Amino acid sequence: MNAALSWTLAEIAARVGAELRGDAAHRISGLQTLSGAGPEHISFLANPLYRPELSATHAGAVLLRPDDAEGFSGNALVLANPYLAYAQLAALFDRTPRPAAGIHASAVVSESARIDASAAIGPRAVIGDDVEIAAGAVVEAGAVVQARTRIGRDSRIRANAVIYHDCVLGDRVNIHSGAIIGGDGFGFANDKGRWRKIAQIGRVVIHDDVDIGANTTVDRGAIGDTEIHEGVIIDNQVQVAHNVVIGAHTAIAACCGISGSTRIGRYCVLAGGVGLVGHIEIADKVQITGMTMVTKSITAPGSYSSGTAFESSDRWKKTAVRIKQLDEMARRLRDLEREIASLRSAGLAD
Amino acid sequence: MNAALSWTLAEIAARVGAELRGDAAHRISGLQTLSGAGPEHISFLANPLYRPELSATHAGAVLLRPDDAEGFSGNALVLANPYLAYAQLAALFDRTPRPAAGIHASAVVSESARIDASAAIGPRAVIGDDVEIAAGAVVEAGAVVQARTRIGRDSRIRANAVIYHDCVLGDRVNIHSGAIIGGDGFGFANDKGRWRKIAQIGRVVIHDDVDIGANTTVDRGAIGDTEIHEGVIIDNQVQVAHNVVIGAHTAIAACCGISGSTRIGRYCVLAGGVGLVGHIEIADKVQITGMTMVTKSITAPGSYSSGTAFESSDRWKKTAVRIKQLDEMARRLRDLEREIASLRSAGLAD
Amino acid sequence: MNAALSWTLAEIAARVGAELRGDAAHRISGLQTLSGAGPEHISFLANPLYRPELSATHAGAVLLRPDDAEGFSGNALVLANPYLAYAQLAALFDRTPRPAAGIHASAVVSESARIDASAAIGPRAVIGDDVEIAAGAVVEAGAVVQARTRIGRDSRIRANAVIYHDCVLGDRVNIHSGAIIGGDGFGFANDKGRWRKIAQIGRVVIHDDVDIGANTTVDRGAIGDTEIHEGVIIDNQVQVAHNVVIGAHTAIAACCGISGSTRIGRYCVLAGGVGLVGHIEIADKVQITGMTMVTKSITAPGSYSSGTAFESSDRWKKTAVRIKQLDEMARRLRDLEREIASLRSAGLAD
């Protein structure tokens, strides 16, 4: 965003398709929360939790639903989905620097690489042999794209990310800084106690509209490909092992680890810190809550969890001991039931 | 450290404020553990566990408490807190290379950046438009600092770290290699099954004297800021999501994940691998043991834990099955209690 | 691999020491899974799970065991360990780019560094003062090797990895992109609530034939060294804290966290996401299953586990509540046993 830019409420209402109630000429130059906003800001009310903040806001205008708009005296942009409208508007106020098209003088680009004239290759980026970079794509400062990899249209590789050789990234793919795409899978053969490295000769294939967070790692396939389908979003510090397949429109929050050859369905949501063992399948529309340990396939949609709730450490120490006694407790419970049954059969309990 | 440098025990005693018992002219050129030390080394005894090593040490001198010094025949530097004195002395023997002030010829620095003459910009570093780098700060090789970010006095950005645009780092902030500060928070609106990216227009604000470990990620705020207060120390591979606030002097060990909008208090200690869900508050002076899953706010100081203690895998398999039967076991236990009660009420148990 | 290259089955059989049954002149130019292979590919059958795919494969040849070869009508390369043969052959088809020997014009290399003429220093790599790089070693694009570190023969530092000063890497060590070797350990002394940084003056010493995954971090020792012994393999995003020692030929899968001063034995296998507290010892030949929390030393070989199996979230909520009631349940169980005992002693149960 150019900080000097601003928009009238009429312009903003048109952009998001809202009904405008208030001063159409009022100018907006920023976006803020209800409590943080001033007259130059637009804000929004999506989560009912924040409704109490509406009456006190100093925002120049608020995006809200028809029922929330009733009784609100400020400038209102009324529409069915204020959160989605906020998502659209945020882009107006995004100050992420946009490198100019062309190849920076300090970049190191192979003569055999094919870089579209509208693509931007930043300072110190390194582009290997036979790499293809499509129109509108950006490779930021210090990023490395190795031989024969293809980067699709309007994709963006942020500073210091690395894409290994022979990978394929679709259009509008966003790879954040420090992410490593196409590193070797963890493949070794054990030869009388010694680990012999197995060359990882597959690729990583990332389809259109995928977003991958900072310091996430996606390993190349051992033989076939590791594949991330259209519209998948992956947060920071996620590990995707070799030959994993992630179905379209699935969301994976930070710190998840997905072991080799596991297949995750479409429209799934993994919360933070979830771990999946290898060689399992997760059905479509599965939700997994944070830090869950998934040790076998999940065949039906729904929400799944594991883990223990926290307690004070003193209480937890007792609980932890009891957990280890559980099998014995279960047997003692069974013994008691038998004793009671024998008491009862002796006619004494009636 | 210049390896040729050495100090007399008199000099060292003065530096740490210790009482010297022994040869004031003895020269020290290194620091070692009690068992690893030779006559050229100084060592220390802080943890009582290592007391048996004291009599056998070959150290040229030992930092120790008055009660430990009794009966020790070697050179002793006696003071109340030997660990803190060790911490002070370690800096003498630190060989971390210190880049010369000035901008390396291979760095790429925007003309609009304001770099103090005493700052050091290393080889291949990239500094964006309108960045400010204060006196004494160091940006090492390959690090990237994007537009309008401010780096305070005597801060140090280690090799290949990335600081995104519009962030603020205070004085004496240390960012280790591979850390990514200011990457986009994981913010998407779901539009009929498709994820629409929400531009993350907030910042990361890091106050003075903060230390951030290798490959740690701190996301920029969605609207407001992600904020790390004075004196916070964060280890490697920690994930700090958008709009998290971490209170002053809190310590966070490696591999923790802190979800969006969560607020952690002051003087807290999170051990390794702890996970916190989003939108909760952790009070001041809370300690959380390793790998704990924190699913709701913690309102009182104290120590908190979750997780199950390890067993042999054979035993654990039984335990894991029993845990899933727990709800049924609890109901059977209740049934037995009722049966016993009815037996008792029948007068049979007396 | 040069994609134009191919080998006859006779050549391949000789290379892996297999008995050839079929067309010795048939040419192979790639390696694939049984289901993915065509006539130009060689495949293998190692896991009995895939035996049903054998009869339907279109592979030009299959590596298999004598008993699997019976009744197979295609070209067969028969030998005792098809998986190991696959591991050998995969290297033939590895297309990982190999930089030419010499120092790239864009690299920044200290005049005091000693680089063997057969080593390759890639674009924009930065090599510090007095670094030693042995014969055949590769430092890829953007990697940083700081002062006085030694890199052994035929070792390879992948793009944008960082090796801090004064570390020692043996021969044939492979460090993947984004890995940070020798960052400061998390060492601070608490001085009346404030954390005082303790300079980390030890090193990281990595012995021969070690493989370290993408974005893994290995901290330098506080005083002595962090040490990774011969033949150890470490996957992505593993955290190895200061003064950890990892015994020879141990394998550590992704996302494990190993706290300070912990010692792991030889020939151990840690599955993904395992966490180890500090200052413990793990015996040789210990296996630890995924996401296990290890809070004390393990003194005997064997397999160890912790964690709770996942359930539907609805059921898990009940289970999680019951776990917190366990200590009370155990006491109620004990009470019931006493009551039953008193009933029995009253002669009523016989």
Report the alpha-carbon distance of residue C75 to residue C62 in Å, rounded. 6
In this predicted structure, what is the pLDDT of residue A2? 45
Predicted local confidence at residue A4, as pLDDT: 55
CA distance B294 to chain A (A): 6
ipTM (interface predicted TM): 0.95
Neighbours of B308 (CB within 10 A): 24
Tell which residue, A208, A270, A217, A218, has the closest CA to residue A245. Answer: A218
The pLDDT score that the predictor gives to residue B346 is 73
Nearest CA in chain A to C232: A195
Please report all neighbours of A, defined by 3+ CB atom pairs within 8 A.
B, C
Q: What is the pLDDT of residue A169?
A: 98
C337 CB neighbours in chain A (<8 A) are: 332, 336
Are the CB atoms for C288 and B285 separated by under 8 Å?
no
Q: In angstroms, rounded to a whole number, what is the distance separating the alpha carbons of residues C85 and B141?
A: 42
pLDDT tens digits along B104-142: 999 999 999 999 999 999 999 999 999 999 999 999 999
* Candidates B239, B287, B323; nearest CB to A326: B323
Q: Which of C108, C304, C323 sits opposite B310 (nearest CB)?
A: C304
Instruction: Work out the burial of residue B66: count CB atoms within 10 Å of its CB; fewer than 13 is exposed, 13-18 middle, 19 or more buried.
Output: exposed
Instruction: Provide the β-strand partners of residue C121.
Output: C103, C139
pLDDT tens-digit map of A172-182: 999 999 999 99
Q: For residue B110, give the chain A residue with the closest CA.
A: A123
Active-site pick, B176, B229, B242, B249: B242
Taking residues A199-220, what's their average pLDDT?
A: 98
**Neighbouring residues of A67: CB distance < 8 A, sequence distance ≥ 6:** none
Task: Name the amino acid, one letter, at B124.
Answer: R
Residue C262: the pLDDT is 98
Residue pairs between chains B and C whose CB atoms are closer than 8 Å: 241
Dist. CA A108–CA A122, nearest whole Å: 10
Largest CA distance in chain C: 96
Longest dimension (CA), chain B: 96
- Give the per-residue pLDDT at B5: 84
pLDDT at B347: 59
Contact of B206 with A199, CB cutoff 8 Å: no
Tokens of residue B249, six digits:
């002097």
**Cβ contact C197–B323 (<8 Å):** no
Measure CA B161 to chain center. Answer: 17
pLDDT beneath 50, residues of chain B: 1-3, 349-350
- Position A1 pLDDT exceeds 50: no
Residues 6+ apart with CB under 8 A from C292: B310, C271, C274, C275, C304, C305, C306, C307
On chain B, the residues whose CB falls within 8 A of the CB of A53 are none
Strand order in the sheet with B239-240: B108-109, B126-127, B144-145, B162-163, B180-183, B217-219, B239-240, B257-258, B275-276, B293-294
Q: What is the pLDDT of residue C117?
A: 98
CB contact under 8 A, B201 and A174: no
Minimal CA–CA distance to B63: which of A227, A263, C189? Answer: C189
Tens-digit pLDDT profile for chain C (350 aa)? 344 589 999 999 999 999 999 999 999 999 999 999 999 999 999 988 899 999 999 999 999 999 999 989 999 999 999 999 999 999 999 999 988 999 999 999 999 999 999 999 999 999 999 999 999 999 999 999 999 999 999 999 999 999 999 999 999 999 999 999 999 999 999 999 999 999 999 999 999 999 999 999 999 999 999 999 999 999 999 999 999 999 999 999 999 999 999 999 999 999 999 999 999 999 999 999 999 999 999 999 999 999 999 999 999 999 999 999 999 999 999 999 998 888 877 755 44
Identity of residue A194: R
pTM above 0.80, yes or no: yes
* Sheet with B174-175, edge to edge strand ranges: A311-312, B302-305, B286-288, B269-270, B251-252, B233-234, B211-212, B174-175, B156-157, B138-139, B120-121, B102-103
The whole-angstrom distance between A248's CA and the closest CA on chain B is: 9
Inspect the interface and report whether the beta carbons of A259 and C236 lie closer than 8 Å. Answer: no
Residues of chain A positioned with their CB less than 8 A from the CB of C310: 288, 292-295, 304-306
Picking from C229, C295, C235, the residue whose alpha carbon sits closest to that of residue C264 is C229
Q: Nearest CB to B124: which of C108, C287, C343?
A: C108
For C17, phi and psi rounded to 5 degrees?
Answer: 70, 45
CA dist B161 and B132 (Å) reads 17
Q: Which residue of chain A is at minimal alpha-carbon distance from C82? A: A189
Nearest-CB residue to A294 (from C255, C310, C323): C310
CB contact under 8 A, C160 and A162: yes
The CA distance from B304 to the nearest CA of chain C, in Å, is 13
Q: Strand, helix or coil at B324?
A: helix
DSSP-derived secondary structure letter, A279? S
**Catalytic annotation, pick one of A176, A242, A249, A279:** A242
Q: Is B280 helix (H, G, I), strand (E, B) or coil?
A: coil
Query: What are the chain A neighbours of B200 within 8 Å (beta carbons)?
Result: 90, 94
Three-class SS of chain C: CCCCCCEEHHHHHHHHCCEEECCCCCEECEECCCCCCCCCEEEECCCHHHHHHCCCCCCCEEEECHHHHCCCCCCEEECCCHHHHHHHHHHHHCCCCCCCCEECCCCEECCCCEECCCCEECCCCEECCCCEECCCCEECCCCEECCCCEECCCCEECCCCEECCCCEECCCCEECCCCEEEECCCCEEEECCEEEECCCCCCEEECCCCEECCCCEEECCCCCCEEECCCCEECCCCEECCCCEECCCCEECCCCEECCCCEECCCCEECCCCEECCCCEECCCEEECCCCEECCCECCCEEEECCCCCEEHHHHHHHHHHHHCHHHHHHHHHHHHHHHHHHHHCCCCC
For residue range C273-308, list pLDDT tens digits in order. 999 999 999 999 999 999 999 999 999 999 999 999
**How many beta-carbon pairs under 8 angstroms link A with C?**
243
Contact C197 B211 (CB under 8 A): yes
Give the residue on A whose Cα is nearest the Cα of B203: A95
The residue with tokens 């490295």 is A197
Nearest Cα residue in chain B from C165: B96
**Residues of C recognised as catalytic:** 242
Look at A158 and B162 and tell me if their CB atoms are within 8 Å: yes
